Chains A and B, each alone.
Chain A
Amino acid sequence: MTSDIQEQLRQTCRRLLEEEKVDVVIGYGQSTADGPAYPVFITAPQDVDRLVWNDRCFNNLTAYLTRDEVKSLGKPAIVVKGCDDRALVVLEQESQINRDEIVVIGVACEGVGEPRAAKCAACDVHMPRTADETLGEVPNGPADLEAAYAELDAFMAQSPEERMAYWRGEFERCVKCYACREVCPMCYCNRCIVDKNRPTVIDTSAHVKGNLAWHVTRAFHQAGRCVGCDECTRVCPAGINLRLLNLSLARAADKHFDYRAGMDKEAAPVIGAYREEDKEDFIL
C-alpha cells in the first residue's frame, strides 16, 4: 500500500519537475530503511527516487513554506499528510501562502510511528482535504473528538495542585532550544516575542518561571490555530508533553466556538472574531 503510494509519489514528482510545473519538491527522504525519514528538497527529475513514503514520515513539511531559504528555490510541490494539510488551510487564512503558487501532493496516511503516534488514535483526516493531487486511499475515520481529548480528560482528572506540580517537573527539563517553535508551521513570525527585549515579556532564561511563561505563550499563540500535528511534542529533546496544552486550547475552541483549526478555510478565525452571545458565565 504505502509502497504503491511511494511509487506514485515519485512518478508524480518526476512529472511535475519534468513539465516544470514546479521548481522544487518538498518531500521525505530516508538514508536507511529503519532510520527516520527527513525532509528533502528535490530540484531535479533524476533525484525523485530519493523520495520515500512510509509511516516514519513524521515531519509537517508545511513549516518550510514560510522559510526564505526554501522560498528562494522557486515554486514548490509539497507532500502532506492529512494533518499537515490542515496547516495549509491556516497558513492560507493567515495570508502566509498563496495556494496558486504551491502544488500540494496529498498522501493517504494510516498513521505514523510504531507504535502509532498519539495524534493518530482519533485521526479523522487520513485523507488530505485540500490537496491538488491525492495518492492512495484510506477511509477517513469519524471525528471522534471524545477519543481525541481522552488524554486531556485523564490529565484534567487530577487536582490543580497535581497538574501544577506535573508541569513544574516538565518545565524544569526545558532547555529553551525552541525546537517546538521552529518545527511548528504556525510559528512563522520572523521575530518571536521571546526574542524581543524591549520590554522583556518573557524571561529568556530556561528556568521554571521563564519556561512556564514561554510555554503559556507558545501554546496560547496557537489558540484556534494549532492543527494537532504534534510535531512540537515529537521533537522536544526533554520529552515535554506540549500536546496536552495544545489539546486544551483545541478543545476550548471546539467546545465554545465549534471551531477546529484548518478544517474550514471560510470559517472566521477564533481570535479576531467574536459572537455577542459568546459565553461569559465566568465574568463577574
Chain B
Amino acid sequence: MNKLAALLVTLMVGGLLFYSTAFFPKWGDPKQPGSMHVSPRYIEKTLAETKVPNAVTSVLADYRGYDTMFETSVIFTAGIAVMMLLRRPS
C-alpha cells in the first residue's frame, strides 16, 4: 500500500515537473534570462575588476564570496557533527 501511494505521489510530482519544463527557455539559448540579467557583468568585468581570468573563481570567492564562506562553514559543521555523534568517549 505504502509503495503504491508513494508511486502515485511521485508520478504526480513528475507530471507537474514535466508540465513546467514546457515553459522553460530552450537549452543553451544564449538569450535566455538566466544568462542575460546578472552573469554578463561577471564575464565581462572579471578581468577588469579582479584580475582573475577564471570567472567561476572570481564569482565564487569575490562577488558571492559570502556564500562560499558559509559553504565552508557547512562542511565544518558536518565535520563537527560527525565527530560529535560518532566519537566514543574513551
Q: Report whether chain A binds chain B.
A: no
